[in-house]
């Protein structure tokens, strides 16, 4: 079931373009258009769920696969996973690579949006895809 007014459902249906890094039968991952760091990825279920706890258990398997790809692609020690759901009412997980001196501190600052060119964003997409296992 999808919600015709949901921006993430429209991305899954290819009605709105996105820089896709991963897709399987149930999940879709793409770069955030307001990245907090290079490689900032959103993982969403293809089916419209409002809350994270409604998503089937295999969501974590897809998240782990993408986190490892991000970690290797950007040579970072860790990837911060955040659940924030007030802006878009479609369950989603932010996967944000973290770096020393990335301007965020111990927790990412949602106001510290990085400005990358479309060419850079496409290169981030490719790096993540190349590191998927």
CATH number at residue 43: 3.30.428.10
Contacts of 25 (CB under 8 A, 6+ apart): 46
Give the CA distances from residue 39 to residues 16, 55, 95, in Å, rounded to whole numbers and listed in that order. Answer: 20, 24, 8
Q: Answer whether residue 121 is part of any domain.
A: yes
Tens digit of pLDDT at every position of the chain (133 positions): 677 789 999 999 999 999 999 999 999 999 999 999 999 999 999 999 999 888 987 888 999 999 999 999 999 989 999 987 678 999 999 999 999 888 898 888 889 999 999 999 999 999 999 999 8
Domain extent for 124: 7-130
Assigned domain for 2 exists: no
Please tell me the distance from the alpha carbon of residue 35 to that of residue 14, in angstroms, as a whole number.
21
Instruction: State yes or no: is 72 an active-site residue.
Output: no
Residues facing 81 on adjacent strands: 95
Radius of gyration of the chain (CA): 14
In a domain? residue 99: yes
Beta bridge partners, 43, equal 29, 93
Domain-located, residue 23: yes
Helix (H) or strand (E) holding 7: helix 7-12
Question: Given 48, 90, 92, 94, which residue is catalytic?
Answer: 92
The confidence score (pLDDT) of residue 1 equals 62
What's the domain count of the chain?
1
Burial of 69-79, coded b for 16+ CB within 10 Å and e otherwise, reads: bbbebbebeeb
């Amino acid at each position: 079931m999808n919600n015709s007014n949901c921006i993430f459902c429209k991305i899954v249906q290819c009605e709105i373009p996105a820089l896709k890094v991963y897709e399987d039968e149930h999940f879709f991952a793409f770069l955030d258009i307001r990245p907090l760091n290079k490689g900032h990825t959103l993982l969403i279920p293809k089916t419209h769920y409002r809350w994270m706890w409604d998503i089937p258990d295999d969501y974590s398997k897809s998240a782990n696969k993408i986190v490892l790809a991000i970690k290797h692609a950007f040579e970072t020690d860790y990837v911060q996973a955040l659940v924030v759901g007030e802006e878009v009412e479609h369950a989603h997980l932010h996967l944000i690579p973290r770096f020393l001196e990335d301007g965020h501190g111990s927790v990412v600052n949602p106001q510290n949006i990085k400005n990358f060119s479309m060419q850079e964003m496409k290169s981030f997409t490719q790096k993540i895809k190349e590191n998927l296992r």
